[in-house]
Amino acid sequence: MGRREMPTMNHHRAEDLLPIADAVRPDFPWLWWARNDSARLAGMAAPPDGFPFGFLKERGLDTVVSLVGVTAYDPTPLGKCSFELEDLRGGSEPRNPAAEGAEVARAVSAVSELIRKGHGVVVHCRMGVGRTGLVLGAFLVANGHHPDKVTTWLDDVQKARGVGQVPGSGVAGCVLLVEVLGGELG
């Protein structure tokens, strides 16, 4: 698989970007922050019926990025875009690694473009763990963070959320991330 270009936020130094120490706040542990500066980026589980999207708007988030395909909910007052990624829970391999890698790259590109335009972005899958972590992790790696540090941080975030590490998700995610970026992770 050839190298896919991942957009970066070159106007920031990697050390200026989050992950932040307080990514998971005790008052709403279902929402976790990958960036909480002027370019807000967060992850969460799939919103339940009747979810108050205004709560996210009040916290500087403007767009929901779904990684579970087209969803029926209306995120007003937020915008929404959708991508369909496989659930690789338990360390399973994607059925079609090239197609999955391309979809991850499209999702990361969309997140990067939204942030470049000044939008706050919240990404979700079903549980807010594997697919969400993969896309946020790929964004952070594309913006200068070392993959090992991002993987450790993602595991720590899930433990702080009370989810714990999903067995194998970090390994499967790292393998897919290496394929997406063509093994050139700096």
The full DSSP string for the chain is -PPPP----TTS-GGGSPPPTT-B-TT-TTEEEEEESSSEEEEEPPPPTT--HHHHHHTT--EEEESBSS-S---TTSEEEE-B----GGGPPPSSHHHHHHHHHHHHHHHHHHHHTT--EEEE-SSSSHHHHHHHHHHHHHTT--HHHHHHHHHHHHHHTT--PPTTHHHHHHHHHHHHTTT---
Mean pLDDT lowest among 35-49, 107-121, 171-185: 171-185
pTM of the model: 0.77
Ordered by start, the domain boundaries in the chain are 29-182
**CATH number belonging to domain 29-182:** 3.90.190.10
Residue 9 pLDDT class (50, 70, 90 cuts): very low
pLDDT at 77: 96
Residue 56 has pLDDT above 60, yes or no: yes
